[in-house]
Amino acid sequence: MFKTSIAILIAMPLLVSSAAFAETAPSGQAVAAPPHHAVDRVAWHKKVCGEIYAHQAGRLAYLEAKLSLTSQQRPAWSKWQQAKLDTAAKERSVCLDAAPKVETRPNALERDARMEKFLVAKLQGLQASRPMLEALYEQLTPEQKTAFDRNSRHHGHGHWNKHGGSGHGHDGKAG
């Protein structure tokens, strides 16, 4: 349930800002949205985008407490944590930049462009944090690795069923 909620929280700004089933006129131009609905959509989008960083900070704080890191592991943790928070800040910024306009709904090209920007930011964040993740993971004890693996799936390191997988981690067990 928690993992599904996280996936929804991450995907919703893109879907809502994109208005996946946007109405278009025969000319292909976006149709004006009802004012009250559009204002609600804009406010909701801004709120959800603002939550991206807070949720990542909370997940990292939980994982840090769960791992009970040693003083030797803390520098590697701090570097990885900062990389993840930098990524969350970038994703929040991309999300806010893609805020829906009050007067119109985005067309298919605009929706794809927004999705691409968000996915590029996500990919760049994963690539940037990978060396720090490897350095941290190498320092963890077997018990810490187990806890990390179980608790970091919603960080983009294992739970992939929303992208066509089975919903199982790399070990084949349901997560």
Predicted pLDDT of residue 122: 92
Q: Kindly state whether residue 71 falls inside one of the protein's structural domains.
A: yes
Residue 30 and residue 24 in contact, taking contact as beta carbons nearer than 8 Å: yes
**For the chain, what is the domain count?**
1
What amino acid occupies position 46?
A: K
Q: Kindly state whether residue 27 falls inside one of the protein's structural domains.
A: no
Confidence label for 45 from pLDDT (cuts 50, 70 and 90): confident
Q: Kindly state whether residue 111 falls inside one of the protein's structural domains.
A: yes
Q: Which long-range contacts (CB under 8 A, 24 or more apart) does 117-126 make?
A: 118/13, 118/14, 118/91, 118/94, 121/87, 121/90, 121/91, 121/94, 122/87, 122/91, 122/156, 124/87, 124/90, 125/83, 125/84, 125/86, 125/87, 125/88, 125/90, 125/91, 126/87, 126/156
Q: Convert the pLDDT of each residue in 111-140 to its tens digit.
A: 899 899 999 999 999 999 999 999 999 999
Most confident range (mean pLDDT) of 27-36, 105-114, 166-175 is 105-114
The residues that bridge with 24 in the sheet, in sequence order, are: 30
Q: Convert the pLDDT of each residue in 76-89 to its tens digit.
A: 999 999 999 999 99
Confidence label for 25 from pLDDT (cuts 50, 70 and 90): very low
Q: Kindly state whether residue 8 falls inside one of the protein's structural domains.
A: yes
Whole-prediction pTM: 0.65
Q: Kindly state whether residue 174 falls inside one of the protein's structural domains.
A: no
Domain that holds residue 115: 2-19+33-163
Share of the chain above pLDDT 70, in %: 64
Q: Kindly state whether residue 168 falls inside one of the protein's structural domains.
A: no
Q: Kindly state whether residue 50 falls inside one of the protein's structural domains.
A: yes
CA atoms within 13 A on the CB side of 133: 15
Predicted pLDDT of residue 112: 92
Sort residue 172 into left (φ over 0), alpha (ψ -120 to 50) or beta. left
What amino acid occupies position 127?
A: Q
Q: Convert the pLDDT of each residue in 30-43 to its tens digit.
A: 444 444 555 577 88
Kindly report the average pLDDT of the chain as a whole number.
76
Residue 19 has pLDDT above 50, yes or no: no
Residue with tokens 């946007």: 22
DSSP reduced 3-state for 4? helix
Q: Kindly state whether residue 142 falls inside one of the protein's structural domains.
A: yes
